[in-house]
């Protein structure tokens, strides 16, 4: 069994992954010549599979994505499986962002660094903030991430509703759930919107100027799905003009191609004081990747034993 690993996020757990693979497995890590390495590979573990890679990989039997997203899998003809385990980490991020933005904690931190006590106690013109328990949270998408986030929010006594592509949301305690034709109602009845839907032709740009206006001036948006679900310029305009209150953005419109430097968007979100900007890190924890390593190894062992693969999302 020859396994080519092109996902650098797995490097911290290299020894653990290799210890779980079938005996006599050859693991090739981060090759400079990926098509060349794939010529004799049985498994590719990585986020991308181009047509060039497919043309070279004549004996490939599995593309295993070390995450949920398969939007960079361009070629077909080989089973593609994914894995999750990021939902608990992302749920923590969402709760942190909702508390921080609704109570304006980043603004208070920035002000006190300039010796200004930004609190209703010292400045009565600043409104007293609301607890997370008073929030009405709307979920756009309600899969692994939405359900994990809702479990945490219930501990705070928050309320929630959800819209999904199917109109179904398997969870107790929601006020209601519906399909995306009810997105307008969701926005009208929520003062926080958590975007956690997959990026598809239908969901791309689903949140634009009209939707942000319906979320309202007290509304907070948290995007942990993919940047393009929310239209970039309308989002920037809504934050700049205070059409909505604030946003936490962990997913973006452009990414580094090499290294760690790149503008995340064309619009200058970094100039705004009502945005939390993070570099797609909400699901990046050791616990996330330990779970993924176990799933990856289980699928490779199943392939070696002729057993059914798990989490196959396409062929």
Angle subtended by helix axes 286-305 and 87-102, to nearest 10: 160
Quote the tokens at residue 223: 């995007």
> Which residue ranges in the chain fall short of pLDDT 50?
none
Domain 87-277 in the same topology as domain 2-85+286-314 = yes
Count CB-CB contacts under 10 A for residue 35.
14
Count CB-CB contacts under 10 A for residue 106.
17
Superfamily of domain 87-277: NAD(P)-binding Rossmann-like Domain (3.40.50.720)
Task: Give residue 107's pLDDT.
Answer: 95
What is the rounded distance in angstroms from the CA atom of residue 68 to the CA atom of residue 80? 11
CATH 3.10.20.340 fits 2-85+286-314, yes or no: no
pLDDT tens digits, 149-166: 999 999 999 999 999 999
Q: Euclidean distance between the first and final Cα of the chain, in Å?
A: 20
Angle subtended by helix axes 87-102 and 105-112, to nearest 10: 60
Task: Give residue 171's pLDDT.
Answer: 74
Q: What is the CA radius of gyration of the chain?
A: 22
**Whole-prediction pTM:** 0.89
Task: Give residue 314's pLDDT.
Answer: 81
Count CB-CB contacts under 10 A for residue 151.
15
Quote the tokens at residue 42: 């049985």
With b for 16 or more beta-carbon neighbours within 10 A and e for fewer, the 238-272 pattern comes to bbeeebbbbbbbbbbbeeeeeeeeeebbebebeee
Task: Give residue 170's pLDDT.
Answer: 74
What is the rounded distance in angstroms from the CA atom of residue 51 to the CA atom of residue 283? 28
pLDDT tens digits, 130-144: 999 999 999 999 999
Question: Are 292 and 66 within 8 A, CB to CB?
Answer: yes
Question: Are 141 and 196 within 8 A, CB to CB?
Answer: yes
Dmax (CA) for the chain in angstroms is 70
DSSP string, 257-275: SSTT---S-SS-GGG-SSE
List the beta strands (DSSP E) in the chain.
2-5, 26-29, 43-45, 62-64, 80-81, 136-140, 159-164, 177-179, 192-195, 220-223, 246-249, 275-277, 312-314
The domain segmentation of the chain, as residue ranges, is 2-85+286-314, 87-277
DSSP secondary structure letter of residue 72: T
What is the rounded distance in angstroms from the CA atom of residue 234 to the CA atom of residue 239? 9
> Which residue in the block uniquely carries the two structure tokens 């956690």?
196
């Amino acid at each position: 069994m020859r396994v080519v690993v092109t996902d650098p996020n797995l490097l911290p757990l290299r020894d653990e992954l290799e210890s779980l693979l079938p005996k006599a497995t050859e693991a090739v890590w981060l090759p400079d010549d990926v098509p060349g390495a794939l010529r004799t590979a049985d498994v590719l573990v990585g986020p991308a599979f181009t047509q060039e890679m497919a043309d070279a990989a004549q004996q490939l039997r599995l593309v295993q994505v070390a995450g949920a997203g398969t939007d960079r899998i361009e070629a077909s003809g080989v089973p593609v499986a994914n894995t999750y385990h990021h939902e608990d980490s992302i749920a923590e991020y969402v709760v942190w962002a909702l508390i921080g933005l609704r109570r304006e904690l980043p603004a208070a931190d920035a002000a006190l660094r300039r010796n200004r006590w930004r609190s209703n106690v010292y400045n009565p013109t600043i409104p007293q903030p609301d607890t997370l328990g008073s929030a009405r949270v709307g979920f756009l998408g309600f899969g692994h991430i939405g359900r994990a986030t809702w479990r945490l929010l219930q501990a705070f006594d928050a309320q929630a509703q959800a819209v999904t592509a199917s109109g179904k949301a398997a969870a107790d305690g929601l006020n209601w759930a519906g399909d995306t034709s009810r997105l307008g109602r969701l926005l009208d009845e929520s003062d926080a919107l958590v975007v956690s839907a997959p990026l598809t032709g239908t969901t791309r740009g689903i949140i634009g100027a009209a939707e942000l206006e319906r979320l309202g001036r007290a509304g907070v948006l948290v995007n942990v799905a993919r940047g393009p679900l929310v239209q970039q310029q309308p989002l920037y305009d809504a934050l700049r003009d205070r059409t909505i209150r604030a946003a936490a953005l962990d997913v973006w419109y452009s990414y580094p191609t090499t290294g760690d430097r790149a503008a995340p968007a064309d619009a200058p979100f970094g100039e705004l004081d009502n945005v939390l900007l993070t570099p797609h890190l909400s699901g990046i924890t050791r616990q996330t990747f330990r779970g993924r390593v176990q799933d990856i190894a289980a699928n490779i062992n199943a392939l070696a034993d002729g057993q059914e693969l798990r989490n196959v999302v396409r062929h």
